[in-house]
Amino acid sequence: MMSEKIDARFIASLVGGELLGDGGLAITGVASVEDAQAGDVVLADDEKFLRRALESDAACIICSADLARSHDGKCVVGVERPAEAFAKVLDYFRGEESLPAVGIASGAVVEDGVSLGANVAIGANCFVGRGAILGDGCVLFPNVYIGESVSIGEGTKVYPGVVIYPKC
């Protein structure tokens, strides 16, 4: 997680949105509309959620530019694609994550005929089935199952416990 103090103005800049309301409001985290507290940014991707967000304790709401017009004085960031913008905010607050080392970890099973791109990381206890393709920079966190003939794109991260069935 980041250590510097940020405000709504920074959030608008981060997502390339139009800020309506107090840009100096301190932003301390992200939440769902239901769980929002003072300092949180929330996503309102339709009118129903916008109404609920406006009534919440959230400091700032990310929504479509059309919905942003009815912000009732609350700090709102209007964007073209609200879900994508909110994902950027989530990534920012998540910070750096610890990745498995490049290579095949102890206990992982990689069957014959698997194609591994450059800088692929396969965590402990993963299974990669025959004929699977893992693109450059692919990361499989521990305990992932990749079935036969599955293709995983470049730079994809597959998190623990994910199962991708054969030929998907």
13-71 residue pLDDT tens: 999 999 999 999 999 999 999 999 999 999 999 999 999 999 999 999 999 998 887 67
% of the chain with per-residue pLDDT over 90: 87
Q: Which of 86, 100, 103, 66 has its CA nearest to residue 16?
A: 86
* Residue 63 φ/ψ, nearest 5 degrees: -150, 180
Q: Give the count of alpha carbons within 13 A of 113, CB side only.
A: 9
For residue 124, pLDDT over 70 is answered with yes
Q: How many angstroms separate the first and last alpha carbons of the chain?
A: 34
- Per-residue pLDDT, averaged over 90-103, amounts to 89
pLDDT at 135: 97
**Region of poorest pLDDT, from 2-6, 88-92, 148-152:** 2-6
pTM above 0.75, yes or no: no
